[in-house]
């Protein structure tokens, strides 16, 4: 194997997470990289290539304290919508995302706002435009 291939295999042990909006842990921006792979930590490659905001760890720590309540509210809101929308993919799956087949994204977004009084919580994306 080439050195690059060996390094790519090691990267599988890395978690990269965003802490920008909208996330359950919303520190207003930034994110973190975590690994239990000692080789990656010893290489020091990640900290040499990334700018680290000194305030981000404190912001993440505060958001982690609120994360259980945030997740609970989002799961409740998701269940509320799932009970009121007929056409969704994976209606019995647990999670905070709802996939709705649509031909009219803006129209469906307007209809969702009428269904859910907490509509300010939701973001609407056309998944095909993300490809």
pLDDT tier, 125 (very low <50, low <70, confident <90, very high otherwise): low
Q: In whole angstroms, what is the distance from residue 113 CA to residue 121 CA?
A: 10
Nearest Cα residue to 17 out of 5, 4, 30: 30
CA separation, residue 9 to residues 1, 4, 52, 82 (Å): 10, 9, 25, 39
pLDDT by residue (tens digit) across 5-40? Answer: 444 444 467 788 888 877 788 888 888 878 887 777
Among residues 65, 69, 14, the alpha carbon closest in space to that of 41 is found at 14
Please tell me the predicted confidence (pLDDT) of residue 12. Answer: 63
């Amino acid at each position: 194997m080439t050195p690059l291939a060996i390094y790519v295999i090691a990267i599988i042990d890395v978690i990269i997470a965003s802490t920008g909006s909208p996330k359950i842990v919303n520190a207003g921006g930034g994110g973190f990289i975590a690994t239990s792979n000692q080789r990656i930590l010893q290489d020091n490659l990640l900290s040499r290539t990334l700018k680290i905001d000194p305030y981000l760890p404190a912001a993440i720590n505060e958001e982690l304290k609120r994360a259980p309540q945030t997740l609970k509210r989002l799961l409740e809101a998701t269940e509320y919508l799932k009970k009121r929308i007929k056409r969704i993919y994976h209606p019995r799956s647990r999670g905070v995302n709802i996939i709705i087949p649509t031909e009219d994204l803006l129209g469906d977004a307007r209809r969702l706002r009428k269904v859910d009084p907490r509509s300010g919580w939701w973001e609407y994306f056309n998944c095909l435009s993300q490809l």
